[in-house]
Structure 1
Amino acid sequence: MKELKEKKIIKKILNNSTLRNKLFQSFNIFLCVNSILIFGCSSLKKNVDINICSSTNKPCLSSTEYVLLITNKGNIKLELYGKLAPITVGNFIDFVEKGAYNKTIFNRVIRKPFPFIIRGGDNSLVTGENKFIDSNTGKIRYIPLEIKLKSNNLPTYGKEIEVSSQKNNIELKHKRYYLSMARSENVNSASSQFYISLKSLPELDGRFAVFGKVISGMSVLDLLQEEDFIVEAKKL
């Protein structure tokens, strides 16, 4: 019974209304490392040194970044790991700097039957305006699933990590208060929505891209309910 409930709740993360109608959207992610998207890093030698940020047309950051979420219940500070998830962090910071997360609601908060996740970044804004549009294309931007293994220099792109032994090799896992990207069933459909794990969730490791964690404001997370909102997101 508990396992069935967990599966139903996990499915809710995939139920991203802003993405599910775009499951087969084409992607133009890399110019010179396109094979990574299809085969992951297994197609490359482990000691290969490619600058991902110079090889993609997506926003990309290889540095550690800090973001302050000013919510209607208090402040939450995030630490983002660009070295381990450069495209995911670059995408998130780009939206922050454009003010896209300002006045967006937390559209899913799951605490029962056990603490699970708080999800935000939906296109359902308090103002009713969709700000998650790529200014270069005029369309919603999608990014590939990005997971860094300890044994590889580069992240793996475009595929889930399914082998149990490899899951132990993942750099960033779903620990309590860690930050990940929500997506639809298509592994390359993450865009703006993110979620914060309220407990360790190893069942999600290798399936969703973890890219940071909450470093202050945990007590604020305990207060958040659905329809609470981000007043402003600021890069520090």
Structure 2
Amino acid sequence: MLKTFASIIFVLSVAVTSLAHAANKSDGSHIQPDNYYPRVKIETSMGDIVVELDRRRAPITVNNFLRYVDKRSYEDTIFHRIVPGFVVQGGGYTTDFEGKSNFPAIFNESGNGLTNDLHTIAMARQNDPHTANRQFFFNVNDNESLNPGRDWGYAVFGLIVEGEDVVDAMSEVETEYSLVLNANNVPIEPIVIKKVTVLPPL
């Protein structure tokens, strides 16, 4: 009888510990956990953008993005790559072109059925398909070349619902080659992400 009681106590303590661990998660899944379509507001030096994320189709990617938002890690970063008629990319560098720290890279969810259409948001990555961490980009065209086919594509995880004109204006700013980044397409006048916040559920 005592042995059975001790076993029950043990099972209950494991369950409570597991629940406590789940409650303390900081991987982004704790942010509006019952909301499949959380919205974030990105306040920039050129205006505000509201994006609706698709956690149902891209749960890993959305949770990863929300984790950076929750840590206020996108604040005072820039859009460092502007390619007219293609993409507006940012979230990885400070205004001094210093790289921000990353969480571990995530699995590429490019096969989720979402495509790189005009005004969608997707994850940037290196040549290896599973190297996305914090940088993201807005598509400013229907970029079929970024969708999965014979090779891995780029994971789309949301859509702009307000501020499309802001992103379109970003795509037209003057750019130059940057010695610091050793890259083309860097805006001459920095476009700064001032703040990113999760909006209340609709």
- Given the alignment of the two structures, is residue 187 of structure 1 paired with residue 129 of structure 2, yes or no? yes
- CA apart distance, 1:201: 0.8
- CA apart distance, 1:221: 1.2
- CA apart distance, 1:203: 1.2
| Alignment-derived partner of residue 56 in structure 2 | 83
Q: Sequence identity, in percent?
A: 29
Q: How does 1:207-226 map to 2 (within 5 A)?
A: 207-224=153-170, 225=173, 226=187
- Could you say if the C-alpha distance between residues 75 and 57 of structure 1 is closer, same or farther in structure 2, counting changes exceeding 3 Å? closer
Question: Is the CA contact (8 Å cut-off) linking 2:140 and 2:168 kept in structure 1?
Answer: no
Larger Rg: 2
Q: How does 1:87-102 map to 2 (within 5 A)?
A: 87-102=60-75
- Given the alignment of the two structures, is residue 116 of structure 1 paired with residue 95 of structure 2, yes or no? no
- CA apart distance, 1:127: 6.2
Q: TM-score, normalised by structure 1?
A: 0.59
| 1:232 paired residue among 189, 195, 201 | 195
- CA apart distance, 1:223: 2.3
**1:69, 1:148 → 2: CA distance?**
26
Give the letter for the 1:217 counterpart: G
Structure 2 gap segments, 5+ residues each = 1-21, 174-186
- Could you say if the C-alpha distance between residues 99 and 131 of structure 1 is closer, same or farther in structure 2, counting changes exceeding 3 Å? farther
| Alignment-derived partner of residue 141 in structure 1 | 104
Q: TM-score, normalised by structure 2?
A: 0.68
| Alignment-derived partner of residue 35 in structure 1 | none
Give the letter for the 2:58 counterpart: A
Residue-by-residue CA offset, 1:88-131 (whole Å, 9 max, x unaligned): 000001101111001100010111xxx00000111x21266655
Give 3-state SS (helix, strand or coil) of 2:169's partner: coil
Backbone CA RMSD of aligned residues: 2.3
- Could you say if the C-alpha distance between residues 203 and 99 of structure 1 is closer, same or farther in structure 2, counting changes exceeding 3 Å? same
- CA apart distance, 1:186: 1.0
| Alignment-derived partner of residue 64 in structure 1 | 37
Question: Is the CA contact (8 Å cut-off) linking 1:95 and 1:132 kept in structure 2?
Answer: no
Give 3-state SS (helix, strand or coil) of 2:61's partner: helix
| Alignment-derived partner of residue 174 in structure 1 | 116
Structure 1 gap segments, 5+ residues each = 1-52, 134-139, 150-170
**1:204, 1:75 → 2: CA distance?**
26
Residue-by-residue CA offset, 1:27-78 (whole Å, 9 max, x unaligned): xxxxxxxxxxxxxxxxxxxxxxxxxx9xx99544672110000000110000
| 2:95 paired residue among 119, 126, 129 | 126
